Amino acid sequence: MTTALPFPSPAPRVSATLAATDYFRRSPARLRGRADHKEWQHFLVHTEGAHLLVNFNLVDDRWAPDPRRAEVARLIALARTDAWDGGVDRFADGEVEVVPGRIDARFGESWLRFDRGRYLLSIALRDRPLAAELELVPTTTPALSANQPLSPERSLSWLFVPRLVARGTITAGSVTRRVEAAPAYHDHNWGHFLWGDDFSWEWGSALPWDPANAWSVVHVRMTDRGRSAARYQGLFLWRGSEPLRVFRDEEIRVAYDGCFDVGRPLRVPRVMALLASGAASDVPRRMEVVARSDGDELRLRFAPEAVAQVVMPSERDLEAVTVLNEVSGRAALSGRVRGVEVAMEGPGVFEFLRDG
């Protein structure tokens, strides 16, 4: 059972924090600085009929003849209705406007803005019947982390907003769905690294269907390429608008059960599909994250339901690929933290980065 709540107004403190921290960095190579820069603004929106993923990303092309013009803009948009559909659009320089220091971008006819505390998205894929017009209001304080280790030489910075509320429309195929007060998630990542470097990650978020349920959770795990050693782990718990507890590193244990039968997953861009056959075979059938410290315990369970793959050529090996498995499923959160019982069930999306 869910409880209807009015659509929220932006909180001034959260709006000011995001305006000061969630802005586009852009590649220093444009100004003869360091290359191999990657950056993306990522959004998830959950409704009972559709789950939407939108990613505005800027990535340096390491093989570009002029490093000052190496930055490539792509829009990834995926929607899960009965199954995943979507694609990846790439844009020429003249189609792209991104303002450094602001949350403001235009990729062709699609755009992202931050206006008076609201994220505004308008996206439409060129070759697939997927579009969305959305307003997203953050309802939690963001988390910001700089230069976390990906590998001995590489690092990743991130900001995430574990909970937003979305409204607008999502059009998938011939069906346009009205979105009203839907749970949503946002993150922004940036750093200097290459696909194919010695790292892997698992990154997941879960939200309740019931808007009256106060809990939100994010799990981050960075490992070596073989996933034998964790370089960073974090389990972040929010109660209402504020963070309640962060568990880290040795306080966290992750267990996997079986392999999820992915069938024939959507792979994008579609021209990369033949290079990534079998790449999702180690997505777990079930996953459990258990955190314990100082008398607190938190348990996050995730059961996958559907997989879509974003396939990228390795920047270390011309015959290999790197695969981002976007896995949609059911999440359950339980435990006791700071003397408070924690219980939540709802949609989750976990991203498993794997070698293809």
Q: Are residues 245 and 299 in the same domain?
A: yes
Contact 326, 79 (CB under 8 A): no
Q: In total, how many domains does the chain have? A: 2
Reading phi first (left if > 0) and then psi (alpha if -120 to 50, else beta), residue 249 is in: left
Q: Are residues 236 and 100 in the same domain?
A: no
pLDDT of the residue at 271: 85
Reply yes or no on whether the pLDDT at 278 is more than 60: no
Q: How far apart are CA 345 and CA 241, in angstroms?
A: 18
- Indicate the pLDDT class of residue 2, thresholds 50, 70 and 90: low
Q: Are residues 318 and 218 in the same domain?
A: yes
Overall average pLDDT of the 109-119 stretch: 98
- Strand pairing category for 84-91 and 37-46: unpaired
**Domain end marker among 171, 193, 215:** 193
Q: Are residues 104 and 220 in the same domain?
A: no
User: Among positive and negative, which fits the CA dihedral 14, 19, 20, 25?
Assistant: positive
Q: Is residue 246 part of a domain?
A: yes
- Indicate the pLDDT class of residue 204, thresholds 50, 70 and 90: very high
Mean pLDDT of the chain: 94
CATH label of the domain that carries residue 146:
2.40.370.10
Q: Are residues 175 and 244 in the same domain?
A: no
Q: Are residues 35 and 179 in the same domain?
A: yes
Contact 217, 204 (CB under 8 A): no
pTM of the model: 0.96
Q: Which pairs with CB-CB distance under 8 Å and at least 24 residues apart come from 242-247? A: 242/140, 242/141, 243/140, 243/141, 243/143, 244/337, 244/338, 244/340, 245/296, 245/298, 245/337, 245/338, 247/291, 247/292, 247/293, 247/296, 247/298
Q: Is residue 1 part of a domain?
A: no
Q: Are residues 42 and 188 in the same domain?
A: yes
Q: Are residues 168 and 224 in the same domain?
A: no
Overall average pLDDT of the 74-89 stretch: 97
pLDDT of the residue at 41: 98
Overall average pLDDT of the 229-247 stretch: 97
Residue type, 240: G
**Domain end marker among 193, 228, 263:** 193
Q: Is residue 2 part of a domain?
A: no
Q: Are residues 177 and 93 in the same domain?
A: yes
pLDDT of the residue at 28: 94
Strand, coil or helix: 17:
helix
Residue 246, domain extent: 194-356
Reply yes or no on whether the pLDDT at 354 is more than 80: yes
Residue among 351, 268, 279 nearest 320 (CA):
279
Q: Is residue 123 part of a domain?
A: yes
pLDDT of the residue at 240: 97
Q: Is residue 5 part of a domain?
A: no
Q: Are residues 204 and 273 in the same domain?
A: yes
Q: How far apart are CA 4 and CA 23, in angstroms?
A: 32
Strand, coil or helix: 175:
strand
Q: Is residue 105 part of a domain?
A: yes
**Domain end marker among 136, 160, 193:** 193
9-13, 182-186, 311-315, 333-337: least confidently modelled range: 311-315
Q: Are residues 76 and 215 in the same domain?
A: no
Q: Are residues 161 and 295 in the same domain?
A: no
Q: Is residue 3 part of a domain?
A: no
Q: Is residue 109 part of a domain?
A: yes
- Reported residue count of the chain is 356
